[in-house]
Amino acid sequence: MNAKYFDLENKRVLVTGGGSGIGASIVEHFCEQGSEVYFVDINVEDSNNLVTEIKNKNYKTPTFIKCDLLNIKKFQNVLENIISEKGPINILVNNAANDERHTIDEVTVDLWNERININLRHFFFAVQSVKSAMIKEKKGVIVNMGSLSWMVGMGGMPAYTAAKAGVEALTRSFAKDLGEHNIRVNTVVPGWTMTKRQVEKWLTPEAEKKLMEDQCLKHKLMPSDIAKAVLFFSSDQSSGCTNQCYIVDKGKL
């Protein structure tokens, strides 16, 4: 059992990209806390498997809603339906992303727009959709998922790193604009996290050796490490924290 945040019990939580990877761990950790969790994802198989796994652990069962986040109108309809039928979304976790590698020359206008849209655009419109109900409640929490990649000058995916740099800017803007309504907005920034996808695509023996050399803590960063930070920034235990960019990376040098 992880730390218990009693104030998260029955809180209504929306997680984007919650079907796999870091998002799936975030969904599971909120369900363990007894939160009322909704998550959107485009991958039906992984998402349904996650719901079954969580149910089998006797945690509170989440609700999966299939949604392509490139379709903003459909995404906004999903959020509006949850709010109208269930009540305000208390905690929004903007997590969905696509970090597929690409060279400078491979970037077309269509690819650029797609990467900005999936890594940044829906963050904005999610907040736009949930903020009115939060304002009426005079409280709310937004956690945006950033990336260490642009901070350390990582190459090989310029559209992704540009979008992720924008996430921090959005966080700071939202924190200022929504703070007077007691809505807290923070960014959690994962280092290289060992999701199934990351391990299968990019974790070579050479890359792992370099990773251990670069980290203060000599063990790999796992999705649960990130989820635990998200819980903290979602809980009242972080009531004094907003407008922050918090790095979880095992101490990358």
Catalytic residue among 5, 38, 59, 160: 160
pLDDT of residue 199: 67
* pLDDT (average), residues 51-77: 98
**How far is 160 from 166, CA to CA, in rounded Å?**
10
pLDDT of residue 202: 61
In a domain, 216, yes or no: no
In a domain, 212, yes or no: no
In a domain, 130, yes or no: yes
96-155 pLDDT per residue, tens? 999 888 999 999 999 999 999 999 999 999 999 999 999 999 999 999 999 998 888 778
In a domain, 206, yes or no: no
Q: Is 246 a catalytic residue?
A: no
pLDDT of residue 194: 74
pLDDT of residue 197: 80
In a domain, 244, yes or no: yes
Average pLDDT of the chain is 94
Which one-letter DSSP state was computed for residue 181? G
Residue 83: CATH number of its domain: 3.40.50.720
* pLDDT (average), residues 231-253: 94
Contacts of 145 (CB under 8 A, 6+ apart): 22, 93, 94, 95, 97, 167, 187, 188, 189, 190, 226, 230
Task: Name the domain count of the chain.
Answer: 1
Q: What is the CA radius of gyration of the chain?
A: 17
In a domain, 226, yes or no: yes
Band (pLDDT 50/70/90 cuts) for residue 1 is: low
In a domain, 204, yes or no: no
* Angle, helices 158-178/122-137, rounded to nearest 10 degrees: 20
In a domain, 213, yes or no: no
118 in Cβ contact with 98 (< 8 Å)? yes
Q: What is the largest CA-CA distance in the chain?
A: 52
Residue numbers of the domain that contains 115: 8-191+222-248
Smallest Cα–Cα separation from 13: which of 59, 74, 73, 68? 59
Kindly report the backbone phi and psi dihedral angles of residue 151, in degrees, each rounded to the nearest multiple of 5, phi listed first: -70, -35
pLDDT of residue 198: 72
